[in-house]
Amino acid sequence: MAEMDEPEKKRRRVVELTENMIVDGVCGGSCEWEGRWNHVKKFLERSGPFTHPDFEPSAECLQFLIDTCKILVIGAGGLGCELLKDLALSGFRNIDVVDMDTIDVSNLNRQFLFRSKDVGRPKADVAADFINSRIPGCRVVPHFKKIQDLDETFYRQFHIIVCGLDSIVARRWMNGMLLSLLVYEDGEVDQTSVVPLVDGGTEGFKGNARVILPGLTACVDCTLELYPPQINFPMCTIATMPRLPEHCVEYVRILQWPKEMPFGDGVALDGDDPEHIQWVFQRSLERSAEFNITGVTYRLTQGVVKRIIPAVASTNAVIAAACATEVFKLATSAYVPLSNYMVFNDVDGLYTYTFEAERKENCSACSQIPQDLRFTPSSTLQEVLNYLTESASLQMKSPAVTATVEGKSKTLYLQSVASIEQRTRPNLSKSLRELGLTDGQELAVADVTTPQTMLFRLCFTS
Amino acid sequence: MFLVVFPTISLWGDHGQEALENAHVCLINATATGTEILKNLVLPGIGAFTIVDGHTVAGEDVGNNFFLSSNSIGKNRAQAATELLQELNSDVSGNFVEESPDKLLDNDPEFFHRFTIVIGVQLPESTCLRLGSVLWSASVPYLVCKTYGLIGYMRLVVQEHTVIESHPDNALEDLRLDQPFDEFKNHINSYDLTSMEKKDHSHTPWIIIVAKYLDRWLSEHDGQPPKNYKEKESFRQMIREGILKNLNGVPEDEENFDEAIKNVNTALNPTKIPSAVEDLFSSGQCNITAQSPSFWVMLRAVKEFVHSEGSGNLPVRGTIPDMIADSQKFINLQNIYREKALQDSAAVAKHVESLLQSVGKPAESISERDIKLFCKNAAFLRVVCCRSLAEEYHVDSVNKDEITSCMDSPDSEMVFYLMLRAVDRFYQLHSRYPGVYNYQVEEDISKLKLCVNSLLQEYNLNVNIKDDYIHEFCRYGAAEPHTVSAFLGGSAAQEAIKIISHQFVPFNNTFIYNAMSQTSATYQL
């Protein structure tokens, strides 16, 4: 047998080394060590009686997670930090994270990827840095942006999106974005255009985790009535960006009271003591004046003081863990994913309730059925706007309405641009007939709760 | 840039936070589950923790554990984890003992007496039971946790855990409309709805409105309050007619009257002592001795109050819900209840004092602040008593009924409890868990099945466990996936905080989490 020449020896040696690495399931380089993925591999390389019918055990499953699978985490706060850790320790490597906030001191007792030296820096950046350095090989890419600043080409690149948001509005926007990515063939959803959405939310000792397959299963808007009006406020909002009178009260309660101890050292604020509330009320008024916020009253002050629901580290841990488990199932088909909603509450013992939320036939977001608006021709535009904001199934925030009148596109009312708001304000008190609208015509409505304009059909009633 | 120190805002209040800061938690085994539990205790600020772990860090430990890094491979696991957990919160004092719990139990079992709570993670059965026995005798709360494949398990072992502040989700208000105390009656009488200006009329608290109309109803109905739906409807109508009308006879917009009408149902709930509290009154613990904990002394005092100054009722709670009213009227009404609550609490304090005296203890042993808190929460008091592990495991006292009735439902989580007991048995026999290595999975199925059968036989449990579950538990190979560890980490930490702070009600006593279906169950075993 002829001697192998040097380049061939070298090539075989490289192949040999690479093969050994594949057998260990590693990516090469110093970021791997023996046994690293033992816990995960048992679910990917062994068959079992409860796996998903599509599941095929193989070493490639783990490689897919490590090399190829792209996950997007929305939010790098209480839930987001937990999600990043959970995903990284489950084998995911290509993780993007989006968060528009910077770190505040009030975050530190919960959002464990942040330290006091990080205060002021973007949450997404710091979270990514921490995970990437603590978990070798992990490549978290941060985006210090609002979700609305990113477009469909961005969102389309991910296999699964998981949300840890503290706002219904943002959730609905995300929901709408993924619905807008759907491709329909003969009235059926093209499954390759579906990006699964795993969504987690917490409030004190309560939380929920759900799996949404846009276009196929119940979406966020299908179950809008499940979300009660939010009465808790993120601490970062209170400290730096108050918008509501409630935020002013919280600022006084949390910051000024402990600093000034107005009724003696160590005397805690008692929501049932009128003198205490009076003190908080006065200072809340001062704070609200600073930010031109109106609405601080004695009653509101007491209401806020007694109803605050702080965030709890352990609830975030539980909900994020449940969500990450679902991401793992969706990515690997190791098990059948949650179908489709789990509620958790540990006020009295621990309680979970799991059920299948149903799609709403006429869901304003995912049913593709144009929504009817029924009004008399003499109803005012204001009444239409009231319906859009107050209806339990729509819950819009500040809808902008456009219609085609006499062949021309006309903005009937828009709030977000001051000059247009002023110009269109007189339309609010005009009747629909006066505005030149006809029975059966389409109205296009834009709102922060959805990335795409919603089409409505105007139906005149008598 | 300025740095402001925020006090930790917690659901368990300042005194709960204080309890947390005085707590010393012991964690046995710094596995992923263990460190996740500890993370959720370190972040809110427990005073100190001590990790007991004799293991050295292996490659697979680092793979699923956020608090171990690859350069700690080969080092003692307790020490390695302590470093990274300590880094989370410098106010917490982190300690470690490089020793197995079995060794400590052999040489120095009293080591464990110093802790506020001991959390044992991934313990083999023998160690778990030994520790349970030591902690039960020393009355140290014990929380057992285990992540096994996609199953999470927790067992709380505490003899008697009292909860003053249970913070129930939907508590009924204590308004005493059916039994108005004198000061309340006088306050109601100071109002004359018929002679008020609109502004006052529309800003009168709904409690006053209901009270006024109730007075009228009682005088018209022989002193009998509205009882059935029909009568309550008439009552509501009576209030509705009290809404001011304008010159054209159209009712004005009086939101406070709307509130009154809406609240009629709950307002008419008779004042009574909840049965859970009545049960506590009949407990043997009410016989006060010098060893009685303050909870029982105060409970006995409240019981005596009920039979004397309280005229059959608990002390007035002293709070009212928010309602539409001008500030002055609201505050005045609120003060009526507050002052009555203070009065009642002072009366209870007198009973406390004489009880303490009767057992030779100083009156200062129970503070006025504690008595006030107790009285405010009198309707929500809870006591949780868990059975010991010995009782759970002993053939004569095993809870057969619970196990067999749960196993009648096909989807019950109980099957996982039995499988966990079976793998524990496997470990005792073979000094390893089933299916850890790939080649073992198949051959261990029959071995595990033998353990299942011997378990069911020993306890005389007439239940059937499908082969699928035996296969699945071999497949798990005692894996501890991070997401299941994290779920348990959050759950266990919260239960530990409940034990430490004595706020909110802990589970009793076995919790099973199934990550395959995202379901869970709690059993009292």
Going by pLDDT thresholds of 50, 70 and 90, the confidence category of residue B500 is very high
Cβ distance B472 to A45 less than 8 Å, yes or no, reads no
Confidence grade of residue B397 (pLDDT, cut at 50, 70, 90): very high
The whole-angstrom separation of Cα A180 and Cα B406 is: 46
CB contact under 8 A, B63 and A349: no
Pairing of strands A206-212, A408-413: unpaired
User: Are the beta carbons of B494 and A42 separated by less than 8 Å?
Assistant: no
Nearest residue, CB atoms, A204 vs list B11, B480, B495: B11
With contact defined as beta carbons under 8 Å apart, do A73 and A97 qualify? yes
Report if pTM > 0.90: no
- Cα distance between residue B40 and residue A111, in whole Å: 11
pLDDT digits over B24-68, tens only?
999 999 999 999 999 999 999 999 999 999 999 999 999 999 999
Q: What is the pLDDT of residue B6?
A: 31
> What percentage of residues in chain B have a pLDDT greater than 70?
98
CB B318 within 8 A of CB B341: yes
Is the model's pLDDT at B10 over the cut of 60? Answer: no
Tokens coding A411:
């903005």
What does the pLDDT read at residue B2?
Answer: 24
Our CA-based measurement puts residue B285 at a distance from the nearest CA of chain A, in whole angstroms, of: 23
Cross-chain Cβ contact A89/B64 below 8 Å: yes
Q: Select from A26, A41, A42, A140 the residue whose CB has the most chain B CBs within 10 Å, as the one to mutate to test that interface.
A: A42
Which B residues 469-508 touch A at CB under 8 Å? 471-472, 475-477, 479-487, 489-491, 493-495, 497, 504-508
- Residue from A428, A452, A426, A455 nearest A441 by CA: A455
Secondary structure of residue B520 in the 3-state scheme? strand
Q: Give the gap in angstroms from C-alpha A74 to the nearest C-alpha of chain B.
A: 18
Termini Cα distance of chain B: 55
A150 burial type by CB count under 10 A (0-12 exposed, 13-18 middle, 19+ buried): middle
Element spanning B106, H or E: helix B101-107
User: Which is nearest to B333 in space by CA: B173, B497, B140?
Assistant: B173
Q: Residue B225's pLDDT is what? A: 94
* Bridge-based pairing state of the strands B48-52 and B24-28: parallel
Where in chain A are all domains bearing CATH 1.10.10.520? Answer: 235-306
Whether the bond into A340 is cis, omega within 30 of 0 = yes
Mean pLDDT on B409-419: 96
**Tens-digit pLDDT string for chain A (462 aa):** 445 456 566 555 554 544 444 333 344 445 799 999 999 999 999 999 999 999 999 999 999 999 999 999 999 999 999 999 999 999 999 999 999 999 987 788 889 999 999 999 999 999 999 999 999 999 999 999 999 999 999 999 999 999 999 888 899 999 999 999 998 888 788 999 999 999 999 988 999 999 999 999 999 999 987 766 544 455 666 777 676 788 889 999 988 998 999 999 888 888 778 899 999 999 999 998 887 777 798 878 887 887 544 568 899 999 999 999 999 999 999 999 999 999 999 999 999 999 999 999 888 889 878 789 999 999 999 999 999 988 888 888 889 999 988 778 889 999 888 889 999 999 999 999 999 999 998 899 999 888 888 889 999 998
Query: Cβ separation of A134 and B69 shorter than 8 Å?
Result: yes
Contact of A342 with A354, CB cutoff 8 Å: yes
Written in H, E and C, the secondary structure of chain A is: CCCCCHHHHHHHHHHHHHHHHHHHCCCCCCCCCCCCCHHHHHHHCCCCCCCCCCCCCCHHHHHHHHHHCEEEEECCCHHHHHHHHHHHCCCCCEEEEECCCECCHHHCCCCCCCCHHHCCCEHHHHHHHHHHHHCCCCEEEEECCCHHHCCHHHHHCCCEEEEECCCHHHHHHHHHHHHHCCCEECCEECHHHCCCEEEEEEECCEEEEEEECCCCCCCCHHHHHHCCCCCCCCHHHHHHCCCCHHHHHHHHHHHHHHHHCCCCCCCCCCCCCHHHHHHHHHHHHHHHHHCCCCCCCHHHHHHHHHHCCCCCHHHHHHHHHHHHHHHHHHHHCCCCCCCCEEEEECCECCEEEEECCCCCCCCCCCCCCCEEEEECCCCEHHHHHHHHHHCCCCCCCCCEEEEEECCEEEEEECCCCHHHHHHHHHHHHCECCCCCCCCCCEEEEEECCEEEEEEEEEEECC
Chain A nearest-CA residue for B10: A310
Burial B287-323 (b: 16+ CB within 10 A, else e): ebeeebebbbbbbbbbbbbbeebbeebbbbbbbbeeb
Q: Is A106 on the interface with B (CB under 8 A)?
A: yes
Q: List every span in chain A annotated with CATH 3.10.290.20.
A: 371-460
Specify which of A377-391, B8-22, B416-430 reaches the highest per-range mean pLDDT: B416-430
For residue B52, the 8-state DSSP code is E
Using CA atoms, how far apart are residues A170 and A450, in angstroms rounded to an integer? 9
**Partner A contacted by B171 (CB < 8 A):** no
Instruction: Tell me what the mean pLDDT of segment B294-317 comes to.
Output: 97
- The active-site residue, picked from A61, A138, A236, A366, is A236
Three-state SS string over B362-404 comes to CHHHCCHHHHHHHHHCHHHCEEECCCCHHHHHCCCCCCHHHHH
Distance in Å, alpha carbon of A327 to nearest chain B alpha carbon: 10
Residues of chain A with CATH 3.40.50.720: 37-204+312-338
User: For residue B454, is pLDDT > 80?
Assistant: yes
What is the reported pLDDT for A140? 98
User: Which of B397, B513, B520, B525 has its CA nearest to residue B145?
Assistant: B513
Length of chain A: 462
Beta carbons of A338 and B518 less than 8 Å apart:
yes
Contacting residues of B for A309, CB less than 8 Å apart: 11
- As for the ipTM of the complex, it is 0.92
Known active-site residue A81: no
Per-residue model confidence (pLDDT) at position A409: 84
Query: Quick check: B63 and A204 CB within 8 A?
Result: no
- b vs e for B163-179, b when ≥16 Cβ sit within 10 Å of the residue's Cβ? bbbbbbeeeebbbbbee
CA distance B167 to chain A (A): 8
Q: B170: pLDDT confidence band, cut at 50, 70 and 90? A: confident
Hey, what CATH class is A235-306 in?
mainly alpha
Chosen from A38, A44, A135 to mutate, greatest number of chain B CBs within 10 A = A38
pLDDT at B84 over 50: yes
Kind plus residue range of the DSSP H or E element containing B119? strand B117-121
Q: Give the mean model confidence (pLDDT) for residues B288-294.
A: 94
Q: Using alpha carbons only, give the angle B90, B96, B100 rounded to the nearest 5 degrees.
A: 155
Q: Is B271 helix (H, G, I), strand (E, B) or coil?
A: coil
- The 10s digit of each residue's pLDDT in B204-259 is 999 999 999 999 999 999 999 999 999 999 999 999 999 999 888 888 889 899 99
List chain A residues with CB under 8 Å of B4.
105, 239, 255
For chain A, the C-alpha Rg in angstroms (whole number) is 27
Rounded to an integer, what distance in angstroms lies between the CA atom of residue B285 and that of residue B297?
9
Decide: B484 and A325 in contact? Cβ < 8 Å.
Answer: yes
Dist. CA A120–CA A105, nearest whole Å: 9
Pairing, β A400-405 against β A371-375: unpaired
Is the domain defined by A371-460 classed in CATH 3.10.290.20? yes
Give the model's pLDDT for residue A25. 39
How far is it, in rounded angstroms, from Cα B321 to Cα B330? 10
CA distance A431 to B48: 68
Nearest to B355 by CA among B310, B412, B294, B276: B294
Q: Are strands A450-460 and A371-375 parallel, antiparallel or unpaired?
A: parallel
Q: Give burial (CB, 10 Å; 0-12/13-18/19+) of A24.
A: middle
**3.30.70.20, 3.50.50.60, 3.40.640.10, 3.40.50.720: which CATH number matches A37-204+312-338?**
3.40.50.720
Give the one of B9, B40, B479 whose C-beta lies nearest to A317's C-beta: B40
| Tokens, residue B190 | 């100071």
In chain A, which among 350-389 make CB contacts under 8 A with chain B? 350-352, 354
Give buried/exposed letters for B354-369 (b at 16+ CB in 10 A, else e).
ebbeeeebeeeebeee
Please count the other Cβ atoms lying within 10 Å of the Cβ belonging to residue B370: 17
Does the beta carbon of B86 lie under 8 angstroms from any beta carbon of chain A? no
